[in-house]
């Protein structure tokens, strides 16, 4: 029997891939079939871009008054809450993450639409004083145009929402290319936008692999902006491809995030949050606290306790009520994480716990990996430099505040980091010196739709969320009107000289 799927959403209609190809999505927790989707290629992406271009140029969405666009986004948020369970289930089946985490993700998605819905109506532009009473000068914010949105597999709908909501609030049209591993909630989201009556061509979806379905979004001259969340090497390729048409580029890339613990920190809270920071979603989090940087005087006690707690973490699938974290996304990814740990050990790191897949029938068919702690590491070793994107934390120590800062900043990345201390002055001093886009003091992981998110250094370009997150999808235009035009006399009218 030939299989079919029509999961490409182009110009308001559901279509199969032009090639007829499909992909089977399997639950990483047990290998069971989760979904069958269309496998788009370049031709499909080209049609989606053409639809988004035509919709933008027709003004069908960009000419809708901003407060009305905002009201639409608020309806999206409300409807997402209605459909929360269905969305969360689809997210868990694609990613293997626990249902409780997927439900939180869906709440965060709804909160993002709420935030940009409210912000859309508050964008009124700005009057500029030109220093001349005869001049009326103002700044207006217009939509950038057609946006290519490319997203990863770890927080599939949340990362898409951080792009879709501001793009729609600004009046843009878009083509979304979710990770080929986790397309299901993007499909559900397009159905929701269609149900709520978004005009055809404003939102378009291509499900398929990056090199074929994704690449045209950075190369095509009809795309005005490409916003990408994913790995550093892919980000470099996208930036290079986008340069050919000088389109706007926003990049949200990886991190190698330091979690700095001073001796005067609340010990139990710091240990518990170091565990969360490193092992939530099995470390498949861009901002994971993968580098524990701990003051020498408490390091032994701190790491012993962290090892004890890590060994207690219960692994399991989305519907296992006992589970505290889930599998890695794929066999290939687990192999990559394991090779990374092995390389660290070869370079001299000491394996304190983990370093292998768990054994037992319960884990058969899934891609689980034990929470892993490596100490005796040095700055410059590959496990300290490269992103693992798995449940692996390394331990470095320091004796002075300066050394803590230097160690925490010793990375090409700069996404996030944390400082643990009960000395308020030290907390602010260190937070101020860390070269990372988000710094938590005595906490780990929270993010807010109203607070900018993004990276210093090679963690990216631009910001998502907050008012800057909307500005990424806007062009500022200066309109200057002289209400009393005068002859400038700059160039003489030589015909009048005789």
Ligand X SMILES: C[N+](C)(C)CC=O
Shortest approach of ligand NAD to residue 130 CB, angstroms? 40
Q: Is 286 in the site for ligand X (CB under 6 A)?
A: yes
Choose the stretch contacting ligand X; rule: CB under 6 A; options: 81-89, 210-218, 280-288, 289-297: 280-288
Rounded distance, CA 312 to CA 271, Å?
14
Residue ranges in 328-379 assigned as alpha helix (H): 331-346
In the list 95, 102, 207, 287, the residue contacting ligand X (rule: CB under 6 A) is 287
In the list 155, 340, 367, 420, the residue contacting ligand X (rule: CB under 6 A) is 155
φ/ψ of 398, rounded to 5, equals -145, 165
Active site residue 252: yes
One-letter-per-residue 3-state SS of 168-196: HHHCCEEEEECCCCCCHHHHHHHHHHHHC
Q: Is 209 in the site for ligand NAD (CB under 6 A)?
A: yes
Choose the stretch contacting ligand X; rule: CB under 6 A; options: 64-72, 151-159, 330-338, 472-480: 151-159
- Among ligand NAD, ligand X, none, residue 447 binds (CB under 5-8 Å by kind): ligand X
Chain residue at closest Cβ approach to ligand X: 286
Q: Is 158 in the site for ligand X (CB under 6 A)?
A: yes
Tell me if 149 sits within 8 A of 178, measured CB to CB: no
Q: Output the DSSP codes for 229-289.
A: ES-HHHHHHHHHHHHTTT-EEEEE-----EEEE-TTS-HHHHHHHHHHHHHGGGG--TT--
Chain residue at closest Cβ approach to ligand NAD: 210
Q: Is 95 in the site for ligand X (CB under 6 A)?
A: no
Token pair for residue 496? 């009048």
φ/ψ of 419, rounded to 5, equals -130, 130
Rounded distance, CA 156 to CA 466, Å?
20
Radius of gyration, alpha carbons of the chain: 25
CB atoms within 10 A of CB 128: 14
Q: Residue 254 CA to chain centroid, in angstroms?
A: 9
- Among ligand X, ligand NAD, none, residue 158 binds (CB under 5-8 Å by kind): ligand X
Q: Is 184 in the site for ligand NAD (CB under 6 A)?
A: no
In the list 150, 303, 349, 383, the residue contacting ligand NAD (rule: CB under 6 A) is 150
Q: Which of 91, 101, 212, 252 is catalytic?
A: 252
Shortest approach of ligand X to residue 158 CB, angstroms? 5
Return the number of the residue (160 or 315) whose C-beta is nearest ligand X: 160
Q: Is 447 in the site for ligand X (CB under 6 A)?
A: yes
Tell me if 69 sits within 8 A of 403, measured CB to CB: no
For residue 142, what is the DSSP state? Answer: E
Return the number of the residue (154 or 173) whose C-beta is nearest ligand X: 154
In the list 96, 117, 201, 230, the residue contacting ligand NAD (rule: CB under 6 A) is 230
Q: In sequence order, what are the residues at sequence separation of 6 or more whose Cβ sits closer than 8 angstroms to the Cβ of residue 176?
A: 149, 151, 160, 163, 164, 186, 190, 203, 204, 205, 206
Q: Is 325 in the site for ligand X (CB under 6 A)?
A: no
Q: Is 232 in the site for ligand X (CB under 6 A)?
A: no
Q: Is 101 in the site for ligand NAD (CB under 6 A)?
A: no
Token pair for residue 360? 């037992």
Shortest approach of ligand NAD to residue 284 CB, angstroms? 8
Rounded distance, CA 281 to CA 299, Å?
25
Return the number of the residue (113 or 389) whose C-beta is nearest ligand NAD: 389
Q: Is 154 in the site for ligand NAD (CB under 6 A)?
A: yes
Q: In sequence order, what are the residues at sequence separation of 6 or more whose Cβ sits closer than 8 angstroms to the Cβ of residue 102?
A: 87, 88, 89, 91, 92, 95, 318
- Among ligand NAD, ligand X, none, residue 15 binds (CB under 5-8 Å by kind): none
Residues that bind ligand NAD (CB under 6 A): 150-155, 159, 177-180, 209-211, 214-215, 218, 229-231, 234, 237-238, 252-255, 286, 387, 389, 415, 455, 460
What is the set of active-site residues?
252
């Amino acid at each position: 029997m030939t299989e079919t799927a029509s999961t490409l959403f182009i110009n308001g209609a559901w279509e199969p891939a032009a090639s007829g190809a499909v992909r089977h999505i399997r639950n990483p927790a047990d290998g069971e079939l989760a979904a069958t989707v269309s496998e788009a290629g370049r031709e499909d992406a080209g049609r989606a871009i053409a639809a988004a271009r035509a919709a933008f140029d027709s003004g069908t969405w960009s000419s809708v008054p901003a407060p009305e666009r905002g009201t639409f986004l608020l309806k999206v948020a409300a409807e997402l809450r209605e459909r929360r369970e269905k969305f969360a289930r689809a997210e868990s089946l694609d990613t293997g993450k626990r249902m409780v985490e997927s439900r939180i993700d869906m709440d965060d998605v709804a909160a993002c639409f709420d935030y940009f819905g409210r912000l859309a109506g508050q964008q009124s532009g700005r009057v500029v004083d030109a220093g001349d009473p005869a001049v009326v000068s103002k700044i207006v914010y217009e939509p950038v145009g057609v946006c290519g949105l490319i997203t990863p597999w770890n927080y599939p709908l949340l990362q898409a929402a951080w792009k879709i909501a501001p793009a729609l609030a600004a009046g843009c049209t878009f083509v979304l290319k979710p990770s080929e591993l986790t397309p299901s909630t993007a499909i559900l989201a397009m159905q929701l936008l269609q149900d709520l009556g978004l005009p055809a061509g404003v939102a378009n979806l291509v499900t398929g692999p990056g090199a074929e379905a994704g690449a045209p979004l950075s190369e095509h001259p009809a795309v005005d902006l490409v916003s990408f969340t994913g790995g550093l090497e892919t980000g470099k390729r996208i930036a290079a491809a986008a340069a050919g048409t000088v389109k706007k580029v926003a990049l949200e890339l990886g991190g190698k995030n330091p979690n700095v613990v001073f001796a005067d920190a609340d010990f139990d809270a710091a240990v518990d949050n170091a565990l969360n920071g490193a092992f939530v979603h099995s470390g498949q989090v861009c901002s994971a606290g993968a580098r524990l940087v701990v003051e020498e005087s408490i390091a032994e006690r701190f790491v012993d306790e962290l090892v004890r707690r890590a060994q207690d973490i219960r692994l399991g699938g989305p519907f296992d009520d006992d589970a505290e974290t889930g599998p890695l996304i794929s066999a290939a990814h687990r192999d990559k994480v394991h090779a990374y740990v092995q390389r660290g050990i070869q370079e001299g790191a000491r394996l304190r716990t983990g370093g292998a897949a768990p054994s037992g029938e319960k884990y058969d068919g899934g891609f689980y990996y034990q929470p892993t702690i490596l100490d005796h590491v040095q700055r410059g070793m590959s496990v300290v430099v490269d992103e693992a994107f798995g449940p692996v934390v390394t331990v470095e120590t320091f004796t002075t505040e300066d050394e803590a800062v230097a160690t925490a900043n010793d990375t090409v990345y700069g996404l996030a980091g944390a400082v643990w201390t009960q000395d308020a002055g030290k907390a602010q001093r260190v937070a101020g010196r860390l070269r990372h886009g988000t710094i938590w003091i005595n906490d780990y992981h929270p993010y807010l739709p109203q607070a900018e998110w993004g990276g210093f250094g090679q963690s990216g370009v631009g910001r998502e969320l907050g008012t800057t997150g909307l500005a990424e999808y806007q062009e500022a235009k200066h309109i200057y009107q002289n209400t009393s035009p005068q002859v400038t006399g700059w160039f003489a009218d030589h015909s009048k000289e005789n």
